[in-house]
Structure 1
Amino acid sequence: MAMETQVATIATDRTSNVSWGAVIAGAIAASALAFVLHSFAAALGLSLSSTAPTWRDTSFALVFLAGLYLVLLAIVSYSFGAYVTARLQTPLAGVSSDAEFRDGMHGLLVWGLATLLTGIMVIAAAQAVPRLAAPSAGAASTSVAGENIIAFDLDRLFRSERRPPGNMDYPRAEAARILLTAPSHRGMQSDDRAYLVRLTAAMTGLAPADAERRVDTVIASAQENLNRARRSGIVLGFMAGAAALIGAVCAWYAACAAGRHRDGREALSPLWDWGRPAVRP
């Protein structure tokens, strides 16, 4: 009977082993540090996207460097948040054998919560950017995503000395949807190309032959730009996934190291032991 009571007491104690206050504090610290490091990246030109029409001219080396920066950012921010969480916890009495695992799991909880917060911010930013970067004024475009990817190509397609008749929102959106088929497996269909030539001639007043040459030039440019954007997206997506996985590992080990420092099982480096008394000569 005494053994059953002891087991029940231990089980009850372990159900409250998650220190959610420390986890939330660590996740906030990790997200704040990640935001600061993202700001530095934007200032250095390592941001993942740009509203400039020539952002597609970014070289592969710079895209890869931006991906490596994502990995470094994940290592630093997740490790910092997990370390903060483990140091804020109160050591458990009588379960020292599980202390390492408990600290590591708290580090993973910080990683998961900070990742969710980052994902929410990225989704909110992705929804806001198209509205801010929509090229046409007035009513919202019917193909904002397509126009933002190849906005400069659309400008070149409909460039004219005269004022285009009527509202250009729908013609631009329609042309964007047609141009987006250029890098597909089947490529742009002949009837779509012919319609784009007629649309360009009607909007710009060009002769059919001139409109056809302009359309061919814009199709080639849009295809190259879309392929380059696709390759950049693949590289950055892979690096973002790798950064998240590496961040999980770093969060686990950082939390375990912080637990050893907290419990006095491992001496803290003098460089980071800010609480030590000052030594006077």
Structure 2
Amino acid sequence: MTIEAPTLIEDEALTIPDQGQYLRWTPIVLGAFVATAFNFTLVTFGVAIGLGVSSTSPTWRDASIALSLLSGLYLILQALVSFGLGGYIAGRVRGDIDATSSAEGEMRDGLHGLAAWALAVLLGAVLAGIVSAAPVNRASSPTTLANNTVAEPLLSYELDRLLRSSRRSANADISAERAEAGRILMTSSSHNGVNGDDRTYLIQQIQALTSLSAGDSERRVDQALASSKTAIAHARRSTIVLAFSLAAATLLGAVSAWAAAVAGGRHRDGAPLPEWMAFADRLEPKRTAAP
């Protein structure tokens, strides 16, 4: 007599949960879109109220270091809020996955928030690239593109003062001379500064373009070199603040997205927040029973 073995394989197959779909891209994309839109809104608002980290306006370069630090702090805070909101949405609408432990569910919620953060960063980079490329696309001609240098947006005010003349015709084209003067002024921030030959050549060019005397042309060039060196130093300081603020905002945004996604998953499941996140419960005074 033979005894048939029970078909445990089929029964076990019916009870094993589906673990194939570890990430769900619908909540990730939704959270990334919300984070990008909210981030863009807050950045635009910050620029509108004067909290932009950098600007091409000459008046910005006269701003104090406190304003630069405040602008960088605002960039970090808005990143925490934006990425936190996107991460919370990604964790909140992820949907429950059966047969997962509390630690595993928290890990999956956090990964969804982190994925939403990464996608939002990429979307923000693409949007920033499109906005930055817009002025280049509005250039009038290839000649204008060739004559424009990095000195033009940075030292436009110094170049205006350097080449200002009431005797020159309004239709005179000095774009080539302006670009050349800008490249010379850019060397004022170097270790050795502007060499003597470039300074002499620039004085002669100013004298020919503005019909000033040699002494007046020399004084104007010296003032332009000193102003350019100061402007470049301020712009470099703003660039350092911008780079540090962007790096800190991006990294802290990842932490915010992870934590917010975990909180969203807890709210979705009706579970209390983890101990490292339950600040409100610790701050609330303990209630005493009524006599």
TM above 0.5, one fold? yes
Matched with 2:257 is 251
**Residue 247 of structure 2 aligns to which amino acid in structure 1?**
G
Moved more, 92-101 or 74-83: 92-101
Say whether 1:34 aligns with 2:66.
no
| Deviation for aligned residue 1:23 | 0.4
Q: Name stretches of at least 5 consecutive residues in structure 2 with no aligned partner.
A: 1-6, 279-291
In structure 2, the CA distance between the partners of 1:212 and 1:253, relative to structure 1 (3 Å rule), is same
- 1:107 alignment partner in structure 2: 113
1:130–1:144 CA contact under 8 A, matched in 2: no
Q: Is the 8 A contact 1:197 1:212 kept in 2?
A: yes
| Counterpart residue identity of residue 258, structure 2 | W
Give the corresponding residue for 1:217: 223
* CA offsets 1:60-109 (integer angstroms, 9 cap, x no match): 11111000001100110000000011111111111234111111111111
Aligned residue identity for 1:100: E
Alpha carbons of structure 1 residues 10 and 139: separation in structure 2 relative to 1, 3 Å: farther
Which residue, 64, 71, 82 being the options, matches 2:69?
64
- Mark the CA change 1:161 to 1:262 in structure 2 (over 3 Å): closer, same or farther: same
Query: C-alpha root-mean-square deviation of aligned residues, in Å?
Result: 3.0
When structure 1 is superposed on structure 2, of 88-97 and 221-230 the one drifting more is 88-97
**1:230 to 2:236 alignment:** yes
Note if 1:120 corresponds to 2:121. no
How many aligned positions are there?
Answer: 267
Out of 162, 165, 169, which is 2:175 matched to?
Answer: 169
Kept in 2: contact 1:130–1:148 (CA 8 A):
no
Is 1:182 aligned with 2:188? yes
Counterpart Cα distance in 1 of 2:140 and 2:221: 20
Rg larger in structure = 2
Per the TM alignment, residue 204 of structure 1 is displaced from its structure 2 partner at its CA by 0.7
Q: Deviations over 1:27-72 (max 9, x none)?
A: 0000111122112212211123335332212211111100000110
TM-fit CA distance, 1:199: 1.1
Q: Offset at 1:185?
A: 1.6
Letter in 1 for 2:49: L
Instruction: Give matches, 1:84-163, under 5 Å.
Output: 84-96=89-101, 97-129=103-135, 139-140=144-145, 142-163=147-168
Amino acid at match of 1:120: V
Percent of residue pairs identical? 43
Q: Residues 30 and 63 (structure 1 numbering): CA distance in 2 closer, same or farther, change over 3 Å?
A: same
Distance 2:156 2:111 in 1: 47
Q: TM-score, normalised on structure 1?
A: 0.86
Structure 1 unmatched runs, 5+ = 269-281
CA contact 2:32–2:86 (8 Å) conserved in 1? yes
